[in-house]
Chain A
Amino acid sequence: MSFTVNFPLFMIVLSLMSAAVSSVLPGKVARVITLCLNAVVCTASSILTVYLYAEGPVFYKMGHFPSPWGNELKLTYLGSLFAAIFATVMFLCVLGGKKHINLDIEAKKQNFYYIMIDLIQAALLVFCFTNDIFTGYVFIEICTIASCGILMISQIGRTTLAAVRYMIFSLVGSGLFLLGVVVLYNITGHLLMPQLRETVEALWQSGEYRMPLISSLCLIVSGLAIKSGLFPFQFWMPDTYGYATPASSGILSGLVSKGYIFFLIKIILDVYGSDMFYSSGMNNVLFALGVIGIVTGSGFAIAENNIFRMIAQSSAAQIGYIYMGIGISPTLGIVAALFHIITHAITKPSLFLSASALSDSANGYKKFRNLQGVAKDNKPAGIFFTIGAFSMIGIPFTMGFVSKYLFATAGLGEGSGFKAYTTIIVLAVSTILNTLYFARTVIRIYSKPTGENRIKLTVRNQKPYVTASVMFAIINIGTSLAASPIFYLIERGVSRL
C-alpha cells in the first residue's frame, strides 16, 4: 500500500486541527491557514486522484479494526476528484470574498469565520471519502452548524432571520436523515456501506421489512433533499444566499449543498444500489420535483428585482437540474448530475463574487435599477459576470452548455418515453427562462448609465477578486473544452463507485 492512501486521513485531521488552532489566532492568520489548508487539500486530492485512477478503489481502515466493526474510508478517484474541486472552489471563494469578509464581519470575530470554513472543509472531505453512513451523519451535523455560522456572522437583521430559517430547514433535514439511518440500522444491523448494501439487497429480494426499508430510503433522501434545497424546500434559499457575505453565499450554494448531493448519490449507489432505488419509484419523485424546481426556480428568479436574490433563486433551479439527472437513470443521468454539480460549483460562486463587485461599484445598491450601466465602471466584474451568466444559460464554450447537453443525452438515451419528452421540453423552456433573467441582467449592466455617481473600480483596486474570478473563468472554459475526458472520468468513476 502506497503512502498516498493516507492522504484523506491527514487532510481530514489537518482540517479539524486548523479549525482548533484558528480559535486562538487573529483573523488574518486564520485566513492564511484556511487558504493554505485549501491549497494543501486540493494538491493532495489531485495526487490521490491520479493514484487511485491507476490503482482502483482502496478501503482504508480508520483504526485497528476491519470493516464491519470499525470505521472505514472508501477512497475512489471520483471522491478525491470532487474533493479537489471543492477545495479549489473554497480557496477561490475565500480569496475573492476577502474584501467583504473584512467589511461585513467584526474584526474580532473573523477568526470564527475561518474556523467554520475549515470545519466545512473537513465535512466535505468526509462526504467524499466516508464509507460509513453514521460518520456521514456526524459530519452533516458539523456542516449544518458551521453553515449557519458563516451565514449569521455578518449579524444584520436580515441574515439573522435567514439563518434561523436555514437552521430550521437544515435541522429538519438532519433529523429525517438520522431517523432514516436508525430505521436502516434496525433492519440491517450495519452502518458500513458495503455490508448495508448486501443486507439491503437481500431484504429487497426477499420482501422482508419492505415498509421500513422504503421509509428509510424516503427519510434519507428527503432529509438530504431538504438540506440541499430541492423544490418545495427551496424557500430558505433567496434570503440565505441573498444577504450573506458573498464568500458565504458562494460556499453555501456552491459547496455545502453540493456536498450533501454528492453524499446522497453515494448512498443511492453504495447503500441502496441502483436496482433498488430505480425500481422503488423514488427516482420518479426526484425527477418530478427536480423538473418543477427548475421551472419555479427560474420563474421566481425572473420576478426578483435584487441581483443577489435572483442568483439565489437560480440556484434552486440548478439544484432541480441535478435532481432531475439523478431521477433519469443510474448511469448517464447520474453522470450528468455529477457534471452539473461541478458546473454549478464553479459558476455560482463566481456569479456571487461578481455581483458583489458590481454592487460595490454602484454604491452598494443591489437593485437592478441602480445597477444600470455599472459594468462600465467596473469592467472586470462586468466581464466575469457575463461569463458566469453565459455558463448558467448554457452558451457553447462554457460548462453550462456541456451539462445541458449531457442532460439531454441522458434524457433521450436512457429515459423512458415520457421522461425523455419531459427532459427535453424542460431543458428548452428553462434555457429560455434562464436567458430571460440572465441576459436581462447582462444587458442592464451594460446599458447606458443613469448618471448616478459610481465608484470606478479597475483590476488594480480589486486584485483578490479578479484573481479568483480569472481562475473561475479559466476552469469554466477549460473544462468545457476538455469536457469529454472529464465526462469519461466521471462515467468510469460512477460505474465503479
Chain B
Amino acid sequence: MKKSIKDWFSEWDEDKINLTELTANQGNENLIKEEKKEHNISELVELKQKELSRAGKIYPVLAALLCVVIIYFMLMTVSGLPKFGQADNPTNNEVVERYVEKGMEETGAVNVVAGVILDYRAFDTLGESHVLFTAVIAVFTLLLADKEEKETIEEGQIMKQDNILRNTAIFIVPLTVLFGIYVILNGHLGPGGGFSGGAIIGAAFIIYAMAFGFSGIEKFLTLKTFRIIVLCALLFYSGAKCYSFFCGANELHSIFGPGTPGMILSSGLILPLNIAVGIVVACTMYGFYSIFKRGRI
C-alpha cells in the first residue's frame, strides 16, 4: 500500500500547477523541494502575466470608477451622520451613561475603558485575544521554516557593528520592559491595559533582538516556551471568563468582587486578565518580528 501511494503521487498533473502530491514523495525530498520552489515561482509569474494581459487596461479604469462611486456614497453617508460630540447624539444613551456613571462602582476599575472591555463586554475581548492567537498560528503556518534553514542570516551581522544602537539599547530595554509592566499592572487604575502594555514589552524585546541578536532572547524564550506561555495565558483567560460568564448568567455570586476602586488589588478579574492579554500581545509582537526576520522563534 505504502509503496503504491508513492507511485501515484510521483507523477505531476500535466498542467504542472497542482503539485500537492509531491509532499507524499519521501524518497528524495530535498531535491523535490528545490524543484517545487522553482516551479512555484515561475508558475506564479506566468500566471500573473497571463492574468494581467487578459485584464488589459479596462480593469484599472473600472476600479477607479468604482472607487469614485463608493467614495461618493461614503461621503454622503458621513454627511448624514449625527455631528460629532453633540450632547443629544444617539450614542449618548443609557448604555454609555451606565458605563460612565456606574462603571467604577460595578467593575471596580477606575479606568472605565478597562471596565468595559474586560467586564461589561468581556466576551468580545475574549474573541479579540483569540484573533491574535489565530494570527500567530496563521503566520507560523506560512513562515515557520525547517530548523536547519536560514541559520546563515542569523545574528544581525549589520546591527552588531552598530555601537549607538547597542549602547542605547542597554539603557532603553530595561526601562521599556518596566514601563510595559507598569502599564499592564496599572490597566485598571489609569490609561493602559494588556493590549498597550503587551505591545510595549514586545517592542522592548524587538529592540533587544535587533541590538544583540536573537541568541540573548533565546536564553529565555524559545519556540517551546513561547507556545507554553501563550497556551497558559489563553487557557487562564478562557477559564476565568468562562467561570465569570457562568456565574453571571446563572445569577451566582462570583468570588471575584470589584473590591475597592483605586487599589492595585481590586476590580476582580480585570488585573489578571490584563496580565494574560499582555503576555499574549507581547509574545505575538516579538513572535511576528522573529518569524518574519528568520523563519522561527
Contact = CB atoms under 8 A, between A and B. Distances in A.
Interface of A: 1, 5-6, 9-10, 13, 16-17, 19-21, 23-24, 60-65, 68-71, 103-106, 109, 112-113, 115-116, 119, 122, 126, 132, 134-135, 138-139, 141-142, 145-146, 148-149, 152-161, 179, 183, 185-190, 199, 209-212, 215-216, 243, 245, 360, 363-367, 455, 461
Contacts of B133: 19-20, 119
Contacts of A16: 126, 130, 234, 238
B141 A149 contact: yes
Given A20-B234, A103-B24, A187-B90, A364 B131 contact: no
Interface stretch (B155-163, B192-200, B211-219, B239-247): B239-247
By secondary structure, the A interface counts as helix
A403 B137 CA distance: 38
Given A21-B231, A156-B40, A68 B4 contact: no
B120 A60 contact: no
Contact of A189 (B9, B40, B76, B95): B95
Contacts of A64: 106, 119, 244, 247-248, 254
Contacts of B106: 64-65
Interface of B: 1, 4-5, 7-9, 11, 13-15, 17-24, 36, 39-41, 43-44, 47, 73-74, 76-77, 80-82, 89-96, 98-99, 106, 119-124, 126-128, 130-131, 133-135, 137-138, 140-142, 144, 227-228, 230-231, 234-235, 238-239, 241-242, 244-250, 254
B40 A157 contact: yes
Contact of B96 (A145, A149, A189, A199): A189
B141 A157 contact: no
17 contacts: A13-B238, A20-B230, A64-B248, A65-B120, A69-B95, A112-B141, A132-B124, A141-B131, A187-B90, A188-B90, A189-B93, A209-B81, A211-B77, A212-B80, A215-B77, A245-B20, A365-B11
Contacts of B137: 23, 112, 115-116, 149
B122 to A, nearest CB: 6
B248 A65 contact: yes
Nearest to B96: A189
A416 to B, nearest CB: 27
A309 to B, nearest CB: 10
Contact of A69 (B11, B19, B90, B99): B99
Given A69-B98, A138-B128, A116 B134 contact: yes
Contact of B120 (A70, A142, A157, A243): A70
A152 B94 contact: no
Contacts of B124: 71, 132, 134-135, 138
A367 B22 CA distance: 18
Given A119-B134, A142-B131, A364 B21 contact: yes
Given A148-B138, A215-B73, A23 B230 contact: yes
B76 A157 contact: no
Contacts of A122: 130
Q: In the complex, which of the residues A10, A65, A146, A154 has the most CB atoms of chain B within 10 Å of its own CB atom?
A: A65
Contact of B244 (A17, A63, A145): A63
Q: Which 7 pairs of residues, A with B, have the shortest CB-CB distance?
A: A157-B40, A138-B127, A71-B123, A64-B248, A211-B80, A20-B234, A215-B77
A69 B9 CA distance: 57
B58 to A, nearest CB: 15
A209 B89 CA distance: 12
B73 A149 contact: no
A145 B9 contact: no
B141 A153 contact: yes
B20 A363 contact: no
Nearest to B1: A461
Contacts of A17: 234-235, 238-239
B96 to A, nearest CB: 7
B43 A158 contact: yes
Given A145-B135, A156-B20, A211-B80, A62 B231 contact: no
A70 B121 contact: yes
A187 B130 CA distance: 29
A20 B230 CA distance: 8
Contacts of A157: 17, 19, 39-41, 43-44
B77 A183 contact: yes
Contact of B91 (A63, A189, A216): A189
Nearest to A126: B127
Contacts of B230: 20, 23
A245 B106 CA distance: 50
B226 to A, nearest CB: 10
Contacts of B18: 156, 158, 243, 366
Contacts of A138: 124, 127-128, 131
